Structure 1
């Protein structure tokens, strides 16, 4: 009787292990995030605020010289960005944002929705209120949130080594003290200055062209030989002559 009970318990343990292993092999998605959770699968033709939240997180996978509009409309550009995100993280590539895609995003974002490797603190080394710039404090912080996700994509594409941000949002006072131009995108919160760490400035500038930055200034552009400036201003302007850009 004792041996029979032992065999039953062993069989149950093996069955449980088999189910667990099968679930892992099937790529069971991570738990929902405490900061934002999607409640439905999204695909081309979908619209709504949940699409906009997705767009923010895949905007860094826009492809060469493209910028994804965060407009809540899942169009061809969003589908292509989702496909690039899926490919970059080893998921099935179908351009549909479902459990596995959301699971990867949940694993990438912290409790305040910022991506794993960037924080509000490094995007605002000027003050803690986000005020005093060209837009409201709320808008400046929201713009910084979006650029962090683009930087996360840039970081991952380059091999997931650290990228150092030396300047993000600036108030008018900070911008003047830093010698920034009067119409600097730093005043809007949608800009970041990057310095060499694991990657050269030219490597950063060249790769940035694929990750949703409309303006890129680097070596060879006046005042940018020691850093690369990236932003997503409404206008397109790339200039890093030393890097062939």
Structure 2
């Protein structure tokens, strides 16, 4: 009788534990499930939309002066970026994107695909439609999403200190109103200005490791009061007061 009672009690405990574990897994993966989730482990040689989605989220880990292509091809550069992402978050750094890596991405991701510390709203204070820039609204929004994932990597590298954005996407009229350059990357959704802390020099110096081809800061005309980070086809870094 006592033996049957113990067995029944153990079964109840095990069932309760399984429910709790299931709840924890569901909660941990909720962010990822709401936006994008991966159905297979990805390693060098893989290709497809799931690789491209991975590349967007690890684009902030290409290494010094590099930019990771989001082409859906898992080559050596993508493997290296996966390794750096894994190292940054204390995961097994094998360059293979599997359950651990995807779980961490899920924990960093909101249901609209943005990283948890940045929003579409703060990347577009100009209008709510993303229209009126140099590219279509959809392209501008997509460019801003890629930029946010690079900012998430930069934020983490700076000790998880909050980064304060002051200007992201601009329509042509918004850009003109603030005196922006005629060909400003802001009009493409691929530039952001940061204010406040950390120091601008610290921001632009660290940004060199996180996939930004355009970096402007103190020492560059008109940039003593903010750090400007952007994406473009060729590199242009200038912040002479910061040694760049």
TM-score by length of 2: 0.91
| Aligned length in residues | 238
Q: Which SS does the other structure have where 1:193 is aligned?
A: strand
- Alpha-carbon distance, 1:107 to partner: 1.1
Unaligned runs of 5+ in 1: 24-28
Q: 2:225 & 2:16 partners in 1: Cα distance?
A: 54
Aligned to 1:212: 211
Pair 1:52 & 2:75 matched: no
Q: Which SS does the other structure have where 1:61 is aligned?
A: coil
Pair 1:94 & 2:94 matched: yes
Aligned to 2:226: 227
With 172-181 and 3-12 compared, the bigger mean Cα shift is at 3-12
Q: Which SS does the other structure have where 1:194 is aligned?
A: strand
Q: 1:9 & 1:228 partners in 2: Cα distance?
A: 63
Q: 1:143 & 1:200 partners in 2: Cα distance?
A: 25
Q: 2:17 & 2:35 partners in 1: Cα distance?
A: 33
Aligned to 2:191: 191
- Alpha-carbon distance, 1:196 to partner: 2.1
Q: 2:168 & 2:21 partners in 1: Cα distance?
A: 45
- Alpha-carbon distance, 1:11 to partner: 3.9
Root-mean-square deviation (Å): 2.0
Against the structure 1 CA distance between its residues 18 and 128, is the aligned structure 2 distance closer, same or farther, given a 3 Å change threshold?
closer
Q: 1:158 & 1:17 partners in 2: Cα distance?
A: 41
Deviations 1:54-77 (A, max 9, x none): 000000011100000111111111
Q: 1:89 & 1:10 partners in 2: Cα distance?
A: 39
Deviations 1:97-120 (A, max 9, x none): 111111111111101010000000
Aligned to 1:26: none
TM-score by length of 1: 0.91
Aligned to 1:7: 6
- Alpha-carbon distance, 1:232 to partner: 1.0
Q: Which SS does the other structure have where 1:59 is aligned?
A: coil
Q: 2:62 & 2:159 partners in 1: Cα distance?
A: 18
- Alpha-carbon distance, 1:34 to partner: 1.5
Q: 2:21 & 2:141 partners in 1: Cα distance?
A: 42
Unaligned runs of 5+ in 2: 23-27
Aligned to 1:143: 143
